[in-house]
Copies of this chain bind each other. A is one copy, B any other.
Amino acid sequence: MEKVYEGKTKTVYALPNGNCLLKFKDDVTGENGKFDPGANTVGLSIEGIGKENLKTSIHFFEKINAAGIKTHYVSADVDDATMEVLKATPFGHGLEVICRYRAVGSFFRRYGEYIKEGAELPGGFVEMTFKNDDLGDPIVSKDALAILQVMNEEQYEKVKAMTLAITKIVADDLKEKGLDLYDIKFEYGYNGENVILIDEIASGNMRVYKDGKYVEPMDLTAMILGS
């Protein structure tokens, strides 16, 4: 198998059938030895976390595929910590699509003059940012994405609608476990004409609360997997 990309937490290989194989590592992002899913540097290694994140991703990808929403997920081999996915071209060099149900985090820091911390955002709110630590992950609007030729207007509307639908699937699943989704981030790419959900869906991608208290990613994984 040809290695096509070495990421921070995953290695990507090309498969003979034209798909890709993602190998989940035990490296996690963080800083100064502390696990931080939002960080852009590898902070430490946690034994078994690659497989835990893979299992969480399988859990959600299967629900999303079953709902008829296109993702890159094909199949997985948990023992091998690998996931077979459709080949996809990501939008830009690290475009994150965030869906927010509550005004927390950077949304509240930016717009606190206009909304209370933790206020509900009815129906969900979608925004996109470019991953760029030095610039504090700048927000990029629909019109900016079009003029920068990263994503056209039709693709934007498609990604927004998919994001609202996928977030509802995740939130409904968490709700059954007594958990409240506050926000979640995704990545998308295109495979031919199709816009598809790519990357992973693990506890580090979302901010979840239980009875008004933030749930740490490691605890959240256990709750999602019922382990």
Contacts and interface: CB of A to CB of B under 8 A. Distances in A.
Interface of A: 92-93, 109-111, 113-115, 121-122, 125-127, 130, 132, 135, 138-144, 147-150
Given A92-B114, A110-B135, A130-B111, A142 B142 contact: yes
Copies in the complex: 2
Main SS at interface, chain A: mixed
Given A121-B147, A130-B113, A141 B142 contact: yes
Given A125-B143, A125-B147, A143-B127, A138 B114 contact: no
Contact of A114 (B142, B143, B148): B148
Contacts of A125: 143-144, 147
Nearest to A160: B143
Contacts of A135: 109-110
Contacts of A139: 138-139, 141
B115 A148 contact: yes
Q: Quick one: which of A93, A132, A143, A149 has the most chain B CB within 10 A?
A: A143
A109 B134 CA distance: 11
A118 to B, nearest CB: 14
Nearest to A112: B135
Contacts of A110: 130, 135, 138, 140
A148 B111 contact: yes
A141 to B, nearest CB: 5
Contacts of A138: 110-111, 139
